[in-house]
């Protein structure tokens, strides 16, 4: 089976190498053929893996492919751990990536960086597969850094735009902060477990739970708590949790296909996956779980609010991602790991669908992304409209759609949780349901319903070099996107509806048995599952619970305020100008990062350069040492006259001094 799994990982890498290094030789068509072929192979083989493990119940595969080196008894290896969790992640990553690859043919068809883009998204798929299939921390860290690197390259894909360079540097630097903590967490675990292998570390978890470390003199901290929090700080950057979320909205500077891939199947899901995989460690630290729970709840609600004041269609969807990642994080903190992973899966489908639908709209709108300058697109883009509606209904959790099953599972699980902070978290994520419905359908109604505001807008394009000119006829009506764009939308719409019907085995069944570990005292899903009576019972129960009515209230409010009485929104903005401005400024996080963190770092670096480099190193250590040696040698050379009697006299004087010293 080693060769089987190696092909899954390396097929996208091979496609990336061919498209990236030999792009001119294979041409544009050759670039998308070789990369799509590679991802298709990985997807088909992932389907087989999922069938064998999830359906037929194959044994867990945990083997080493090769040993890189052995240092002081610690083995640095490359290997695969394939169980139901891995199989699910492989299927999600490869399917969404395949849809994005096909979609890219239409979206990027006139872009001069066509081959480079296909090479990078294929490389992205390879990096994420490496991460989710790892059986040790070394390979996990390689995949972790690889997805960060490729996201940096893709966010700044249009490198001639200053905003794109700013955005990719922001993503890179914020993730370096998280990665610093992530490395420290891995180091603490490896130091005490003496192994990088997951299974060895998990076997040592109980022993490590009683160990302490001294971070500050006289203060003992639980080793596992510190290590778990450090690992989660790494996840906070990758999965964009407050306050390390600031890079994600700016990642919209990249082309729409990569926005879909980052937000749905790669990068941001890495942190959620990692914490779930490390559940045998986190279950020994209530403090770490409580920390995760609170951070996730704050992100879910307050980042969702920011979606209400965004007018860029991609940024609305981006803040939606932030909010939904908060829901997943809350589930992890409540020890409902299966619920978090279930929402990760359903979210991957409907969020990729929403981003790609947004891209379809952007193509029709001359690459104008302002939803205030759209409207009435329903009759011109029926496929995009229908699929965007499915994605929106799944996002807000309407019964029957995938997001309903996964989001309601999280909310109900948190209601049962006794982890400190669960009460506050429940209130925030419940309120977040209304907010999600409000900003989602504000965007949906303003784009597809209402007056055709696009007719009053002059279209000049953005000069990215990939516009579909058939959509840009002066005064012409918008047109539906080509089949390479609409087919992925339709294919993603199917699991956006049907994926939720796996709620039984994934949340309340044995799908994750032996993979996720939950302390019995915190097993909220077991308590929730005791009352589970099938899909239809789950739906009926959900229709009687607050989340359903809050979602409907959000949709109704969006229709009334933004379609029937748009002046109400202006009145609210005018009545609470400070609140509105604070939300426009993202609560000041960006200003803090620019003025305090970034500017402070530059000032610190400038001071270190002036004091440390110029004064200490140059003047004292380097030039000072040279001057000191020169001064000493200039004095000593007077003693070297070359006359023999001078040397003889010096020897006699020295001998007399020694005699006097020893006699006395």
pLDDT the model gives residue 463: 44
Res 470: pLDDT: 37
Q: What share of the chain is helix, strand, coil (3-state, %, to 5)?
A: 75, 5, 20
Contact between residue 357 and residue 259 where contact means Cβ atoms under 8 Å apart: no
pLDDT score, position 560: 93
Q: Is the pLDDT of residue 663 over 90?
A: no
Q: Where are the domains of the chain?
A: 1-455+480-564, 592-663
Q: Compute the average pLDDT of residues 361-376.
A: 89
Contact 325, 268 (CB under 8 A): yes
**pLDDT band for position 468 (cuts 50, 70, 90):** very low
Report pLDDT for 341. 95
How does strand 219-222 pair with strand 74-82? unpaired
pLDDT band, residue 467 (cuts 50/70/90):
very low
DSSP class of residue 56 equals: S
Quick one: DSSP state of residue 190? Answer: H
Query: Is omega for the bond preceding 243 within 30 degrees of 0, making it cis?
Result: yes
Identify the H or E element spanning 325: helix 313-333
166-194: average pLDDT:
90
Helix 337-364 and helix 382-396, axial crossing angle in degrees, nearest 10: 150
pLDDT given at position 480: 87
| Confidence (pLDDT) at 607 | 77
Give the burial class of 476: count Cβ atoms within 10 A of its Cβ; 0-12 exposed, 13-18 middle, 19 or more buried. Answer: exposed
Chain segment 204-236, per-residue pLDDT in tens: 988 888 888 887 777 788 899 999 999 999 999
Look at residue 330 in the predicted model and tell me its pLDDT: 96
402 token code pair? 């995938």
Question: Comparing C-alpha atoms, which of 242, 240, 212, 245 is closest to residue 227?
Answer: 212
pLDDT for 455 equals 78
Write out the two tokens for 252: 């919209």
Mean pLDDT of 94-99: 94
The structure tokens 């007399």 sit at 656
Which secondary structure element, helix H or strand E, spans residue 222, and what is its range? strand 219-222
The DSSP symbol for 68 reads: E
- pLDDT-above-70 percentage for the chain: 96
Task: Please give the average per-residue pLDDT across 28-40, as a whole number.
Answer: 94
108 close to 121: Cβ distance less than 8 angstroms: no
CA atoms 361, 364, 367, 370: torsion sign: negative
SS3 443: helix
8 Å CB contact between 75 and 27: no
Question: In Å, how far from its chain's centre is CA 127?
Answer: 13
DSSP codes, 485-524: HHHHHHHHHHHHHHGGGGHIIIIISSTTTTTS---GGG-H
Closest CA to 121 of 139, 104, 106, 138: 104
Phi, psi of 222 (to 5 degrees): -65, 125
Joined together, the tokens standing for residue 173 give 């630097």
Name, of 315-324, 588-597, 653-662, the range with top average pLDDT. 315-324
Kindly report the pTM of this predicted structure: 0.88
pLDDT of residue 340: 94
What pLDDT was estimated at residue 98?
95
Q: Where are the alpha helices (DSSP H) in 334-482?
A: 337-364, 382-396, 402-416, 422-448
pLDDT at 138 over 90: yes
Query: CA-CA distance, 394 to 481, in Å (whole number)?
Result: 23
Place of tokens 């059986």: 135
Rounded to 10°, the helix 337-364/84-107 angle is 0
Both structure tokens of 286: 């209530």
**In a 3-state reduction of DSSP, which class is residue 81?**
strand
Q: Report d(CA 166, CA 153) in Å as an integer.
A: 12
Q: Is the pLDDT of residue 359 over 60?
A: yes
Distance CA 217, CA 230 (A): 20
Question: Residue range 518-535: average pLDDT?
Answer: 89
Per-residue pLDDT averaged across 29-58, rounded?
92
pLDDT value of residue 464: 46
Query: 552 pLDDT exceeds 90?
Result: yes
CA angle 481, 484, 489 (to 5 degrees): 75
Q: What is the pLDDT of residue 605?
A: 75
Burial level of 192, CB count in 10 A (0-12/13-18/19+)? middle
Predicted local distance difference test score (pLDDT) of residue 459? 54
């Amino acid at each position: 089976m080693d060769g089987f799994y190696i092909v899954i990982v390396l097929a996208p890498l091979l496609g990336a190498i061919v498209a990236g290094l030999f792009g001119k030789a294979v041409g544009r068509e050759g670039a998308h053929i070789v990369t799509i072929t590679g991802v298709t192979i990985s997807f088909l083989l992932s389907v087989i893996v999922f069938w064998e493990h999830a359906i037929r119940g194959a044994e867990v595969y945990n083997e080493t492919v090769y040993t890189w080196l052995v240092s002081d008894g610690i083995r640095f290896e490359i290997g695969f751990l394939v169980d139901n969790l891995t199989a699910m992640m492989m299927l999600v990553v490869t399917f969404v990536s395949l849809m994005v690859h096909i979609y890219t043919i239409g979206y990027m068809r006139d872009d001069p960086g066509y081959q480079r883009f296909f090479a990078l998204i294929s490389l992205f798929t390879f990096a994420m597969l490496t991460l989710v299939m790892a059986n040790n921390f070394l390979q996990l860290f390689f995949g972790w850094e690889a997805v960060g690197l490729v996201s940096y390259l893709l966010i700044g894909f249009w490198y001639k735009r200053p905003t794109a360079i700013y955005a990719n540097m922001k993503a890179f630097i914020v993730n370096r902060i998280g990665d610093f903590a992530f490395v420290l967490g891995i180091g603490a675990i490896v130091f005490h477990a003496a192994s990088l292998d997951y299974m060895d570390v998990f076997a040592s978890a109980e022993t490590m739970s009683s160990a302490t470390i001294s971070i500050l003199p006289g203060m003992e901290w639980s080793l596992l708590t510190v290590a778990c929090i450090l690992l989660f700080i790494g996840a906070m950057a990758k999965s964009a949790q407050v306050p390390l979320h600031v890079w994600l909205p700016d990642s919209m500077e990249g082309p729409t296909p990569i926005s879909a891939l980052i937000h749905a199947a790669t990068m941001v899901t890495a942190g959620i996956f990692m914490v779930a995989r490390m559940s045998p460690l986190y279950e020994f630290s209530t403090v770490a779980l409580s920390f995760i729970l609170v951070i996730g709840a704050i992100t879910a609600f307050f980042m969702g609010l920011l979606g209400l004041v965004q007018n860029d269609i991609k940024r609305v969807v981006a803040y939606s991602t932030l909010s939904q990642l908060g829901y997943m994080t809350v589930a992890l903190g409540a020890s409902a790991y299966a619920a978090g992973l279930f929402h990760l899966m359903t979210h991957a489908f409907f969020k990729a669908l929403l981003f790609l639908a947004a891209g379809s709209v952007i193509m029709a709108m001359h690459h104008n992304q302002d939803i205030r300058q759209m409207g009435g697109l329903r009759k011109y883009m029926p496929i995009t409209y229908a699929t965007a509606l499915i994605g929106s209904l799944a996002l807000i959790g309407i019964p029957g759609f995938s997001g309903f099953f996964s989001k309601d599972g999280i909310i109900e699980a948190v209601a049962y949780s006794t982890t400190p902070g669960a009460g506050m978290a429940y209130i925030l994520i419940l309120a977040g349901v209304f907010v999600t419905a409000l900003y989602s359908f504000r965007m949906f109604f303003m784009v597809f319903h209402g007056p055709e505001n696009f007719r009053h807008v002059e279209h000049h394009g953005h000069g990215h070099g990939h516009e579909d000119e058939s959509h840009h006829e002066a005064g012409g009506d918008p047109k539906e996107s080509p089949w390479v764009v609409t087919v992925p939308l339709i294919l993603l719409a199917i699991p956006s509806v049907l994926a939720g019907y796996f709620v039984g085995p994934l949340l309340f069944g044995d799908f994750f048995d032996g993979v996720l570990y939950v302390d019995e005292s915190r097993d909220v899903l077991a308590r929730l599952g005791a009352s589970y009576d099938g899909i239809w019972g789950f739906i009926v129960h959900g229709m009687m619970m607050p989340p359903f009515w809050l979602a409907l209230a959000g949709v109704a409010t969006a229709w009334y305020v933004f379609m029937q009485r748009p002046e109400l929104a202006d009145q609210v903005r005018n009545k609470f100008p400070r609140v509105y401005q604070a939300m426009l400024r993202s609560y000041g996080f960006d200003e803090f990062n620019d003025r305090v963190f970034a500017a402070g770092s530059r000032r610190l670096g400038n001071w270190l350069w002036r004091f440390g480099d110029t004064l200490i190193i140059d003047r004292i250590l380097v030039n000072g040492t040279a001057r000191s040696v020169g001064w000493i040698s200039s004095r000593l050379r007077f003693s070297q006259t070359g006359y023999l009697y001078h040397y003889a006299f010096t020897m006699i004087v020295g001998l007399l001094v020694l005699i006097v010293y020893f006699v006395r």
